[in-house]
Structure 1
Amino acid sequence: MHDDEVIVVGGGLAGLVAARHLADAGAAVTLFEREPAVGGRVRSTHEQGFTYDRGFQVLFTAYPAAQRELDYDALDLRSFTPGACICREGHRSILSDPFRDPGSLTESIFNRDVTVTDKLNTLRLKRELQSRSTDSLFQGPDRSIEAYLDSRGFSRKYLENFAAPFYGGITLDRSLSTSKHVFEYTFKMLSAGKTVVPAGGMGAISAQLRDRAEAAGATIQTDRPVEDVQADGDRVSVDLGGETVTADAVVVATDPAAASSLTDVESIPTDAHSCVTQWYALEDTGDLDAGKRLMLNAESDAPNQLVDHTIVAPEYAPDGTRLLSATFLGERVESDEELAVLAHDTLASWYPERQFASFELRHTDRIEFAQFEQPPGFAETLPAARAPAGPVYLAGDYTRWSSIQGALESGKVAADAVREDRQ
C-alpha cells in the first residue's frame, strides 16, 4: 500500500483502529473528525478533579479485539467485582459467581431473589459457553434473550430481578427483546475476563488508540466535519465544506446516521436505544455494602442501575468525595434536576439506614444514539465493510454488533479490506 492515500472519516474507536492498521500497512492516512476530540461515544470529561465518562461504559478484558488493539498495562485498569447487588425498597442482596468471587459464596448461595435452579442453570450455561469459540456465538438460529432464558429453564424471578436490569444496562433494552447472540457473547466475556475502567476514565482508551495511530504515521485532524463523499472511478472525493480532497480509498467510520447519508447504504441500522447518565457527588461517609458491584434496580428503569465509581476507581473523584452514576433508559422527558431527585430517592429507599444529604448533581449526558437496536436476526442484515460503491468502506460497530468489541473489530476488518483491494 505504499504511496496509497487513504482518508478515514470519523475518529471513534473504529476509525482510530482503521487509521492505525492502514498506516502500519504503509498508506498515507489522514483522519478527519468533526468533534474537537476523538473517541465518539467513548469519551471522558475531566472537571475539578472529577472524571465523567460519556454514559456508563465499561471494558470487558476478554474482548479479543481489545486484547489485540489495547495496551492494558498502560491503561492502568480498575476492576469491578463479578455479579451485582439486587436492590429494591428496603432490600439489597448480592448475587455473584462464587468461583470468581469467593467472598460472595454465602450471600449468593442464600440469595432468594433467584431460585436454586437459576443458580445451577447459570453454572451450566457458563460451562457450555466456555467450550464454544467466540466466532460461533453469532451463528445459528436466533431468538430474544427472554425466550432464550425461558427455554433454558430460568425462572421469572431471575428474568425480572437480575437479567432485566443487568442486561438492561448492557443492551439498553430492559425488555430482554435483544438477540440471544448478544447475550451469549457478553455472558462468555463476563465469565472469561474482568469488567474494568481505566484509572483515567474510558476516554483513555480513545486517547491510547489515537497515540497508536499517530505513532504508525496517521495524521489526525479534529474539528474537520466531512459533508460529502463521492466515488469517481478509482478515486474518491471528500468535501470538507469549502475544500475538496481526494484519495485512493475512504473509510467511513462515522455514526450510523452520518454513514448512511455519506454512503447511501440503506442497510446501516439507524433505529436507536437512548439513555441518560448522571453523575453525583456526595461526602465520603463510607463504602456502600454493594462493594465494587453494580446496584441493579429490580423495580424500574428510573434509574436502571446505580454505580459507586469511587470504590472501583478512586481516581474518578477528589479525596473525601464519593462519585456515583445513575443510568436511565430511553429518552427521558424529565429535567436533569427531576432525574437527580429520582436517583436520590431510589438510593435512599435502598439504604434507609443511611443519609444522603450531600447528594449533588454534577454532570448529565443525554445520549440519543447510544446503541443501535439488535433484535433477533439483526446480524444477518448488517452491512459489510465493502457495502458502499467504489473504493469506499464502512467501519463501525453497526457492521458487527453494538459494543466496544464490535467497533474495534470493524476498524481492522475495514483496514484489511482496503489493503486487500489495493494489492
Structure 2
Amino acid sequence: MNGDVTVVGGGIAGLVAATRLAEAGADATLLERRPDLGGRVRTETVDGFTLDRGFQVLFTSYPAVASELDADALDLRTFAPGATICRPGSRATLSDPLRDPRGAIPSLLNREVSVSDKLRTLALRYDLAQREEASFFGGPDASIREYLRDWGFADDYIGNFVEPFYGGITLDRSLSTSKQVFEYTFRAMSRGAIGVPAAGMQAIPEALAARARDAGVDVETGADVETVRTAGQGRIPFRTGSADAEGATVELADGSTREADAVVVATTPPEARRLTGVESIPTEAVPNATGWYTLPAGESFETGKRILLNAAEASPNAVIPMSEVAPEYAPDDRALLAATFLGEAAQDRPADALREDVRDALAAWYPKREFGGLETVDVHRIPFAQFAQPPGVHDRLPDPDDPEGPVVLAGDYTEWSSIQGALASGREAATVATEYL
C-alpha cells in the first residue's frame, strides 16, 4: 500500500492508527500538540512518587490490549479481585471466589451484601460470560441502576458496593451510565486482572510510541493543528464525494501545512468536533479529581491490595493503596495512596479540604490508627476525564468515516470511553483510512 497519511493527535488511538498504517506500508506522520505523547494517559514524578494523571488502570482481558500491547513487557502490578466495603468502624471484603479463593470466606462472611445477592452476582457473571464480544454495545439500553434492579439486586448491594465501585469506573456514582458499560467491564473483570505498569500508566503510550517509531512513523510533537481542509474545497465539512478524494491539507498554528492522501483526527472529542464539524461527536464531559497522599516514614498501609470503597459518603469515593499494589510508585519508606473525588464540586474544592475528607474517612475505617500525618503529594483535577455515557449513547456515536472527504475519526468516542475503546478505535481508523490510499 502506498500513500501519505497524517494523524492528528498522539494519544492512544492516534498512536495505534499511525502504527497500523505504517505497518501496512503507508508513509505516516503523527502530529501532537503537547511536547509528549499519551493524551489522557500520562504519568509524572513528584518528590520521588509516581503519579498517574488521575487514577487509571489497565484491564488485562480487554481484547485490544492483547492485539496492541505486550502486557508482560509492561511489568504490571495487579490489584486483588474485588474490593473492601468501608464505613465507620467497619471494613468488609467482597471478592470473586472463582478468581480469589483466599477471599472466599471473608466474602461469604461479609454482612454488607446478602447471600442471595452474592449468588445473584455469580449468576450474572455466568450470564455475561456466555455473551459474544460484538453483542455488548447495541440493542435496548438502560441505566446501570435500572439494570441491576431488573436483575433483582437489593438496594443495599447497589448502594454499598456498586455505587462506589462503578463510581470509580464510570465516574458516576448515581449509576445513570449505560448498562452496556457495566456489562462489558464486569465480564472483563471476571476474565482477567486489573493493574498498573510498574513505571506508571504512561508506560502504555510509551510502548505504543516505540512500536510506532519502529514501524517508521514520523512523530512530531509541539505541532498544534489549526485546521483540516479537503482538497480544493476549504475546511471540512465540505464533501469531496468518496474514497476517490484527492487528499487533504493540515494547517498548523505556525502557518505551515502538511499535504496527505488521508488524515486521521485522533484528538479530544471537543477538538475533533471543531476540526471535522461532525456534530455526533460527544462533548459532554464527566469530570474527576484524584488526590495523591503519603503517610510518614514507617507507617505502612496494608489492605490486601484491594480498593477501599466509601459506602457511607461520596467524598472520597474510594481510596486506593497504590504503593501496596505497585511498590515502585513510592520511595521505599513511604506509603502512597490515591483517592478519587467525583463530580463538578471536586473541581473547585481546596486541596486541604479534599485531604481532610480522606483523613476523616481513613480514621473512621481504621479507628485504632492515627492519620494526622497524612500529607498531600498532588491533586489532579481533570475536567474531561470521560465523555458522558447515558443509556442509548453508543447508538449515537460517530462512525470513523463520518467526516467529509478523506478524513477519519479515531478516539474512544467512536467506541466507548475506555482504554479498550481507544485502542480498538485506532485500529478501526487505520482500516478505514486505507480506503483513501
Q: What band does the TM-score fall into relative to the shorter chain?
A: over 0.9
1:260 alignment counterpart: 273
Q: Name 1:237's counterpart in structure 2.
A: 249
C-alpha separation between the residues in 2 aligned to 1:247 and 1:299?
55
Equivalent-residue separation in structure 1 for 2:432 and 2:314 (angstroms): 41
In the TM superposition, 1:128-143 aligns within 5 A as 128-143=127-142
Partners of 2:139 and 2:354 in 1: CA distance? 41
Counterpart mapping for 1:269-284 below 5 A: 269-284=282-297
For 1:365, the equivalent position in structure 2 comes to 380
**Contact residue 302 and residue 324 of structure 2 kept, 8 A:** no
5 Å matches for 1:159-308?
A: 159-232=158-231, 233-241=245-253, 242-285=255-298, 287-308=300-321
Cα distance in 1 between the residues matched to 2:297 and 2:187: 35
Q: Percent identity?
A: 55
Tell me how far apart the structure 1 counterparts of residues 337 and 297 of structure 2 sit (CA, whole Å).
11
What does 1:23-422 align with in structure 2 at a 5 Å threshold?
23-232=22-231, 233-241=245-253, 242-285=255-298, 287-331=300-344, 332=346, 333-422=348-437
**Given the two structures, how large is their TM-score scaled by the length of structure 2?**
0.95
In the TM superposition, residue 286 of structure 1 has moved relative to its aligned partner by 5.5
Structure 1 length-normalised TM: 0.98
**SS state of the match for residue 72, structure 2?**
helix
State the distance in 2 between where 1:247 and 1:323 align: 47
| Aligned residues of 1:274 and 1:367 also touching (Cα < 8 A) | yes
The one-character-per-residue Cα deviations of 1:64-122 (angstroms, maximum 9, x if unpaired) are: 00111001111101110000000111211100011211111111001111111110110
Q: Is the 8 Å Cα contact of residues 19 and 215 (structure 2) preserved in structure 1?
A: yes
Q: The residue matched to 1:73 in structure 2 has which SS?
A: coil
Alpha-carbon distance in 1 for matches of 2:302, 2:268: 39
- Bigger mean CA deviation after superposition, 412-421 or 11-20: 412-421
Specify every segment of 5 or more residues in structure 1 that has no aligned partner in the other structure, as ranges.
none
**Count of matched residue positions in the alignment of Structure 1 and Structure 2:** 421
CA drift at 1:399: 0.3
CA distance in 2, matches of 1:339, 1:224: 36
Please give the alpha-carbon distance, in whole angstroms, between the structure 2 residues aligned to 1:224 and 1:343: 40
How far apart are residue 289 of structure 1 and its match?
4.9
Contact 2:55 2:338 in 1 (8 A): yes
Contact 2:262 2:436 in 1 (8 A): no
Task: Give secondary structure in 1 for the equivalent of 2:428.
Answer: helix
AA aligned to 1:264 is G
Q: Aligned-pair distance for 1:284?
A: 5.0
Q: Is the 8 A contact 2:138 2:395 kept in 1?
A: no
Q: CA deviation at 1:240?
A: 0.8
Retained in 2: the 8 A contact 1:43–1:53? yes
Q: C-alpha distance in 1, partners of 2:104/2:64?
A: 32
Query: What are the superposed Cα offsets for residues 297-336 of structure 1, whole Å, 9 maximum, x if unpaired?
Result: 1122211100011110000001010000001001222112
Task: State the distance in 1 between where 2:217 and 2:171 align.
Answer: 34
Determine the C-alpha separation between the residues in 2 that align with 1:346 and 1:279.
15
CA distance, structure 1, for counterparts of residue 201 and residue 116 of structure 2: 37
CA displacement at 1:358 relative to structure 2: 2.3
Alpha-carbon separation, structure 2, partners of 1:222 and 1:352:
50
Q: Which moved more, 1:157-166 or 1:138-147?
A: 138-147
* Displacement of 1:377: 0.8
CA shift at 1:47, angstroms? 2.8
Deviant stretches of 4+, over 3 Å: 284-289
Partner deviation per Cα, 1:151-189 (whole Å, 9 max, x = no partner): 111000010000000000000011111111110000000
Letter in 2 for 1:234: E
Contact 1:94 1:290 in 2 (8 A): no
Instruction: For 2:349, give the aligned amino acid.
Output: E
For 1:65 and 1:104, the matched residues in 2 are separated by: 29
Please give the alpha-carbon distance, in whole angstroms, between the structure 2 residues aligned to 1:374 and 1:247. 34
Task: Give the AA of the match of 1:409.
Answer: A
Which residue of structure 2 aligns with residue 7 of structure 1?
6
Consecutive unaligned residues of structure 2, counting only runs of 5 or more, are 232-244
TM superposition shift of 1:285? 4.2
Distance in 2, Cα, partners of 1:81 & 1:9: 38
Distance in 2 between residues matched to 1:206 and 1:151, nearest whole Å: 39
How many Å separate the matches in 1 of 2:289 and 2:140? 33
1:142 and 1:166 map into 2 onto residues whose CA distance is 21
Question: Secondary structure of 1:354's match?
Answer: coil
